[in-house]
Amino acid sequence: ELKVEQNPLFLSMQEGKNYTIYCNYSTTSDRLYWYRQDPGKSLESLFVLLSNGAVKQEGRLMASLDTKARLSTLHITAAVHDLSATYFCAVDPGGSGTYKYIFGTGTRLKVLA
Amino acid sequence: EAQVTQNPRYLITVTGKKLTVTCSQNMNHEYMSWYRQDPGLGLRQIYYSMNVEVTDKGDVPEGYKVSRKEKRNFPLILESPSPNQTSLYFCASSLAVASTDTQYFGPGTRLTVL
């Protein structure tokens, strides 16, 4: 069974601190996506990681992909309250195949002032 | 404005009463998809479509139907809704299959089946 697991599921952190969210997946995939969802809102794309070793950064967020370890990380640097949201990773296991997307269960981040 | 729209945004219905949730995108995207979001389960894909007249099952297709007669529209049909289909539904689209593009999500439809 194809699985995408995120941890932690819940994260409460102080402003100014650093932390990392992990996304492990059980199938071969070259593409991994990170999304953000604010409470009561839709999903917004953050990063698309397309190959092994890919690293992307936007503001205080940096995402990386290790396809050999089947692991992606989302690193938060010097957190601010505005980063409070739920973060999802998703895998496209098909590549040139099925084009099904599998999402992780999400990491709910709360940044405390 | 480039967007994915869904209607209705909120719907309360009763068991067995057929309903359709519409989804439309104005970005000329080939790939469209439906998801349901339930607490603790993340998003699960219901159906997807790689182009007009081409659809395929996602992970949780039971109880749902879709059609793709036009590129821009991808309605989700519940022929006989049941309470376990109470959920938050999202439609999404992306440029093309095998694309490096991400998916763009609609605003969501909150469905309650009594």
Span B37-79, pLDDT tens digits: 998 888 999 999 989 989 999 999 999 999 999 999 999 999 9
Nearest to A92 by CA among A21, A20, A4, A22: A4
B74 DSSP 8-state letter: -
CB B90 to CB A100 under 8 A? no
- Given CB atoms, is B10 within the 8 Å cutoff of chain A? no
What is the rounded average pLDDT for all residues in chain A? Answer: 91
Q: Looking at this protein, which amino acid is placed at residue A51?
A: S
Residues of B in contact with A103 (CB under 8 A): 35, 42-45
Q: What is the pLDDT of residues A47-65, one digit of tens each?
A: 999 888 889 999 999 999 9
The angle subtended at Cα B57 by Cα B73 and Cα A47, nearest 5°, is: 70
| Interchain pair B108, A103: CB under 8 A | no
Per cent of chain A over pLDDT 90 is: 72
For A30-61, the DSSP string reads S-EEEEEE-TTS-EEEEEEE-STT-EEEETTE
Higher pLDDT, B11 or B98: B11
User: What confidence category does residue B98 fall into, taking pLDDT thresholds of 50, 70 and 90?
Assistant: low
Tokens of B26: 């104005």
Q: Which residue has the tokens 């059609």?
A: B67
Collapsed DSSP state (helix, strand, coil) of residue B15: coil
